């Protein structure tokens, strides 16, 4: 009779062998967005949906490559440019629309703009299973002026450890969601595919 441990190891080996190692930019973006790959975590609070998505460095590299001639040397240079940080996109929508809309009056809208554009570093942190609490080193609010289905912010954190877990914590920031937590398994994140040179 086979050991359950050996069966588990065999199953994990088979699973990892089926996972692609290199993907074109569009396919890599789809891979990351698929909740089955555990790089995107979603929570629903009433009509408000909040998701946090890990952004592999190669997705940022792909964005930069869209305007320049690509080569392996350039890809490695761009990877080095982003290598000191770990990136996440925080996405928030209400009834499948942006949360940053003046539907509740200009005063509330203005306060939310101020919070999202200038103060979110005070509302977001990552706690690692090693016991470290990390604040974002920088972040960017994507202003789409009611033309998108969600309000999105890109956060840069200090480079996270490759073992254990990362707990992305979002404090109540004026949306009525309360405090939210999103758990990521570091080995799963680190094993995500990289960018294929030709796509």
* Per-residue pLDDT at 103 exceeds 90: no
Q: Which of 17, 13, 26, 12 is nearest to 195 (CA)?
A: 26
What is the pLDDT, as a whole number, of residue 10? 47
Give the C-alpha separation, 171 to 167, whole Å: 13
Give the C-alpha separation, 142 to 68, whole Å: 23
Prediction pTM value: 0.86
> What percent of the chain is predicted at pLDDT more than 90?
69
Give alpha helix (H) positions in 19-176: 25-33, 57-65, 72-82, 106-114
> Confidence class of residue 68 from pLDDT cuts 50, 70 and 90?
confident
What is the pLDDT, as a whole number, of residue 12? 42
Burial 150-189 (b: 16+ CB within 10 A, else e): bbbbbbbbeebeeeebbebebeebebebeebebebebeeb
What is the pLDDT, as a whole number, of residue 3? 52
Q: What is the mean pLDDT of residues 105-109?
A: 88
Q: What share of the chain is helix, strand, coil (3-state, %, to 5)?
A: 35, 30, 35
Task: Please give the C-alpha separations between residue 11 and each of 4, 5, 6, 75, in angstroms, as whole numbers.
Answer: 10, 10, 9, 33
Q: What is the mean pLDDT of residues 160-175?
A: 97
Task: Please give the C-alpha separations between residue 34 and each of 23, 30, 59, 101, in angstroms, as whole numbers.
Answer: 14, 6, 15, 27
pLDDT single digits (tens) 118-159: 999 999 999 999 999 999 999 999 988 777 899 999 999 999
What is the pLDDT, as a whole number, of residue 18? 58
Which residue is it, tokens 């979002």?
Answer: 170
* Per-residue pLDDT at 29 exceeds 80: yes
Lowest mean pLDDT among 14-23, 76-85, 93-102, 162-171: 14-23
């Amino acid at each position: 009779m086979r050991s359950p441990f050996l069966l588990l190891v065999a199953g994990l080996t088979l699973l990892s062998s089926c996972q692609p190692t290199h993907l074109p930019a569009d396919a890599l973006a789809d891979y990351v967005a698929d909740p089955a790959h555990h790089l995107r975590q979603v929570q629903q609070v009433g009509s408000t949906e909040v998701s946090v998505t890990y952004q592999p460095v190669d997705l940022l590299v792909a964005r930069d490559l869209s305007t320049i001639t690509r080569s392996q040397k350039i890809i490695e240079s761009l990877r080095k440019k982003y290598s000191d940080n770990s990136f996440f996109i925080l996405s928030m929508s209400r009834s499948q629309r942006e949360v940053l809309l003046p539907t509740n009056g200009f005063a509330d809208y203005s306060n939310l703009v101020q919070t999202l554009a200038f103060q979110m570093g005070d509302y977001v942190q990552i706690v690692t299973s090693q016991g470290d609490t990390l604040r974002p080193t920088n972040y960017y609010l994507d202003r789409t002026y009611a033309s998108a289905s969600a309000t999105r912010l890109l956060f840069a954190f200090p480079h996270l450890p490759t073992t254990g877990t990362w707990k992305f914590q979002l404090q109540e920031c004026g949306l009525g969601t309360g405090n939210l937590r999103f758990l990521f398994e570091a080995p799963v994140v680190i094993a995500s595919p990289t960018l294929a040179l030709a796509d």
